[in-house]
Amino acid sequence: MSRHVVVTGAGSGIGRQTAVRFAGLGCRLTLVDINAAQLQAASDECARSGAKEVRAVVSDLRTPDGPEDMVAEAWAVAPVDVLVNSAGVYPATPFLSLDADSWDSVLHLNTRAPLLATVALARRAVESGRRASVVNISSGAALRARPGAAPYSTSKAALEMVTKASALELGPYGIRVNAVAPGFVTVNSTANPVTEEYAAAVSGNPLGRRGEPDDIARAVVWIAGEEAAWITGETLRVDGGSSAGAMNLPLHWTPRSMSESGSRDN
């Protein structure tokens, strides 16, 4: 039986490529985005990629009822097996320019919407005695603050705790909740544009290349599936190793000889 997968933020970038990956597995898809034109293009690509069925839902998940309505509409078609919360915004707002509206707009979409969507799914899954899997898309920014990204970094740090808390309470019902945290990924987003200067500054990593949406999509499909059946409450960092440490620092000292190096190490 093909799984029913709901992907938010499916119109572009990581969300779209994740949807295409699930389509290639013959899944039934409900794709959600606020941009109708991009959503239709993604739906068409998923249909060509082998999806059993594709439904497009245009929705603003920042509204209080948006996540509940989205899940209700998807569940009315077929019970939902996988929910991928990929919709998000990444505005650049200097700290001294922050106000309540600019803060809330980020937290409502990046943190509250995944939480409420997970609650809506879990209520239905528990009532019907079904298992389910939720994957939240976090970010390396959850671990490191960046100039102009106080709301974003906070939203992703909070999302990782939402992942843990929901996994703890929903595990007994057979509902797994995990997160995937990308490093810098080239998505060419019109909603979340970045300069090349910024991209170069944040994309250094041990593997020596920037991420692509499919790097993240493969991880999402894996952790949502049965091969990861005993994993819940985890954040999988798919970042080329950038979270392992700082790549741009020089040696803290330069040894003059091997003997000196050995003596200092001891």
Q: Are 33 and 39 in contact (CB under 8 A)?
A: yes
Q: Among all residues, which ones are annotated catalytic?
A: 152
- The first and second tokens of residue 145, run together, are 């603050």
CA gap 61, 142 in Å, rounded: 21
Q: Are 183 and 212 in contact (CB under 8 A)?
A: no
- The first and second tokens of residue 101, run together, are 């509206």
> What's the gap between Cα 191 and its chain centre?
16
- The first and second tokens of residue 86, run together, are 């990929």
Closest by CA to 189, choosing from 19, 8, 13, 9, is 13
How many CB atoms are closer than 10 A to CB 82? 23
| Strand positions, DSSP E, 61-183 | 82-85, 132-137, 175-182
Closest by CA to 10, choosing from 34, 241, 249, is 34
